[in-house]
């Protein structure tokens, strides 16, 4: 069986990357190399003469080509990190981002939910929000809904692999039967809805625009579209004084808060991310 020098193959891929517009970071090369060959960086350093077989070489070079074509490394590896957990991801779901961890932190630290509280995540995608909450606090009964059957398949796989008890359902936020199909009332409603106006698509990186699901990214011409619907539904799905927390476009956080106030929600607040950008809006129903 033919074998190849691990260091030579890695150097070969790095040399090719230097000629391409999309240049994977050295860390991404390390991740892809380990995933395709099983050799960690530490193993290569301790075994400078390590070799890999043809199949491993081809897997690695194929991964490199996909990355240099703009595909996110998380989709190539099939996983992404969120709140210290590893979630399966593919092109049916958004890649979990650090900013969204603020929603989880708010639920766990600021929402003051009682034991046995019920949480609903609208547009759950990979399920990273309700799964993480369930793993961190097993006394919160977590549910997640999504319009995409493919996304829900990923979410259920994540719940199973991580050992989280979360109820997932395929529901359309705009369906007339939406509320009747839920196990209402809930104590808290969470959502990271589509909030990027279509007009901003040209400003996005090719990684995001060409690979992540548009259904979960774009909101058409109205950046408040989904927040307005959530505000309308909140009194119907939440208990008295039930809480809402939504991730927002950094340019429209104040607009979301103002719309929540005009919708009759109370105790509204904006939470900023580590870059001091408006990222989460919280509120309560009467």
The residue whose two tokens read 């290569």 is 44
Asked if residue 3 has pLDDT above 90, the reply is no
Does residue 200 lie within any of the structural domains? yes
Q: Are residues 137 and 245 in the same domain?
A: yes
Strands 186-191, 141-146: pairing kind: unpaired
Contact (CB, 8 A) for 178 and 236: no
β-partners of residue 119 are 142, 188
Is the bond into 205 cis (omega within 30 degrees of 0)?
Answer: no
In the prediction, which pLDDT does 45 show? Answer: 86
Q: Is 28 a member of any domain?
A: yes
Any idea what the CATH number is for the domain that residue 167 is in? 3.40.50.150
Summarised one tens digit per residue, pLDDT across range 15-72 is 888 888 777 888 999 999 999 999 998 888 888 888 999 999 999 999 999 999 999 9
Number of domains in the chain: 2
Indicate the pTM of the whole model: 0.94
Structural domain for 23, as ranges: 3-69
Q: Report the pLDDT value the prediction gives residue 25, as an integer from 0 to 100.
A: 87
How far, rounded to the nearest angstrom, does the alpha carbon of residue 206 sit from its chain's CA centroid?
17
- In this structure, the answer to whether residues 61 and 149 fall within a common structural domain is no
pLDDT tens for residues 91-140? Answer: 999 999 999 999 999 999 988 898 899 999 999 999 999 999 999 999 99
Q: Which two tokens stand for residue 275?
A: 């870059």
Q: Residue 94: left (phi > 0), alpha (psi -120 to 50), or beta?
A: beta
pLDDT of 222 reads 97
User: 184-195: buried (b, 16+ CB within 10 Å) or exposed (e) per residue?
Assistant: ebbbbbbbbbbb
Sole residue written with tokens 């580590």: 274
Q: What is the mean pLDDT of residues 230-235?
A: 97
pLDDT band at 1 (very low <50, low <70, confident <90, very high): low
CA pair distance 123, 61, nearest whole angstrom: 35
Residue 5 Cα distances to 17, 32, 57, 60, 161, angstroms? 19, 16, 10, 13, 35
Residue 40 lies in a domain: yes
Are 15 and 58 within one domain?
Answer: yes
Asked if 136 and 216 sit in the same domain, the reply is: yes
């Amino acid at each position: 069986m033919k074998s190849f020098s691990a260091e030579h193959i890695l150097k070969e891929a790095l040399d090719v990357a230097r000629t391409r517009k999309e240049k994977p970071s050295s860390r991404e090369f390390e991740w892809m190399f380990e995933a395709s060959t099983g050799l960690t960086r530490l193993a290569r350093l301790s075994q400078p003469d390590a070799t890999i077989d043809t199949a491993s070489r081809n897997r690695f070079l194929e991964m490199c080509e996909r990355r240099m074509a703009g595909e996110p490394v998380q989709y190539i590896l099939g996983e992404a990190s969120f709140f210290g957990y590893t979630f399966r991801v593919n092109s049916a779901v958004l890649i979990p981002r650090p900013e969204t961890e603020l929603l989880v932190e708010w639920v766990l630290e600021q929402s003051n939910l009682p034991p046995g509280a019920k949480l609903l995540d609208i547009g759950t995608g990979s399920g990273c929000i309700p799964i993480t909450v369930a793993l961190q606090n097993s006394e919160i009964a977590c549910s997640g809904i999504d319009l995409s059957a493919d996304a829900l398949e990923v979410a259920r796989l994540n719940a199973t692999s991580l050992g989280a008890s979360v109820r997932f359902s395929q529901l359309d936020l705009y369906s007339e039967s939406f509320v009747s199909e839920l196990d209402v009332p809930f104590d808290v409603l969470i959502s990271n809805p589509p909030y990027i106006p279509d007009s901003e698509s040209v400003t996005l990186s090719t990684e995001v625009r060409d690979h992540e699901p548009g259904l979960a990214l774009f909101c058409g011409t109205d950046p408040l579209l989904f927040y307005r619907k959530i505000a309308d539904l909140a009194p119907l799905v939440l208990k008295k004084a039930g809480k809402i927390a939504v991730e927002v476009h950094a340019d429209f956080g104040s607009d979301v808060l103002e719309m929540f106030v005009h919708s009759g929600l109370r105790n509204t607040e904006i939470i900023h991310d580590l870059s001091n950008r408006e990222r989460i809006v919280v509120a309560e129903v009467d």
